[in-house]
Chain A
């Protein structure tokens, strides 16, 4: 195994990507209940808005934000000749993703505590 920052970013991109595809289809199924009318929809939505799901949503946010900024990093590499700065770009994408995850995670966490209490 050849381990570099490039490999780590590739691995995380794949991991979050696969997780997000699986999430997407679950998400479609959950909100798909809307075709059955408001009652079915609200019942199914209530089942996935318990504190444990809120906690999972923070992980989901982390995956989405990391995947997005890793993608932006690749777009930058594609459209500009910046391969010399590949390591800095990787760290930048990672740091920005971490900051946004915390920024979005705190309100989610507080909301979860509120719902539990």
Chain B
């Protein structure tokens, strides 16, 4: 389908900040010739290559899998590489780009993600396998896989973390990204320490600091649901002994085939 509106000049307004020169961020406009299928990241490349080499941003894969190019596009956190320019410019032929909010800016759209990774490591995002590892493979049922709600497809882009109002107020909070990962490990039948994980998150800076603002769901470029994961963790945290016992029983059958229904 041909679209006559595709070929036109659009304004890309970028929030600029150079720590060596600027005291605070300011906006700078660039004119870009929009071509068919152009993404926000393509427009940024166009600007950096042909107009202003000093525009700084993170990017790597261009396939929406590395999570480097998350930024604030028209007031919403998403990945620059999977957002078509034409969807964002609207009638005003204008798109506004900025760094992820609530995080310290290093330069232009590059932010300091230290707290993001610190909180991530706090939940021990790796699998803690049982001592008795099956000879061939772990077997998970369809229901057990479905219960993860695709949490494993998180790419750690930081869109949810930096959209979270609570993170904006308080950096002690674990954050939706880490809680989603914790949820995934807790629900994983292979994981040996769900009780300990739930106990670690059962504090003032853990699952109860979430105030159900839902920004993380709106922001996630992968369509994941950290809020639901946090609500599930809250419920499980209140009955973690029982959950731990169920897990122990389940782990005795990890190497057995799942019975057909």
Contact = CB atoms under 8 A, between A and B. Distances in A.
Asked if chains A and B come from one complex, the reply is yes
A86 B216 CA distance: 12
Interface string B205-230: 00000011111011100000101100
Say what secondary structure dominates the interface of chain A.
helix
B212 A2 contact: no
Contacts of B231: 77-78, 83
Interface residues of B, number: 20
Contact of B217 (A1, A74, A83): A83
B68 interface: no
B163 interface: yes
Contacts of B214: 4-6, 83, 86
Interface residues of A, number: 15
Interface string B61-96: 000000000000001010000000000000000000
Given A2-B168, A7-B165, A86 B228 contact: no
Contacts, number: 47
Contacts of B77: 2
Contacts of A81: 228
A4 B234 contact: no
A4 B218 contact: yes
Interface in B225-261: 225, 227-228, 231, 234
B194 interface: no
Given A83-B214, A83-B217, A2 B234 contact: no
A111 interface: no
> What are the nearest 4 A-B pairs in CB distance?
A6-B214, A6-B213, A10-B213, A86-B214
7 contacts: A2-B75, A4-B213, A7-B165, A9-B213, A10-B211, A74-B212, A83-B217
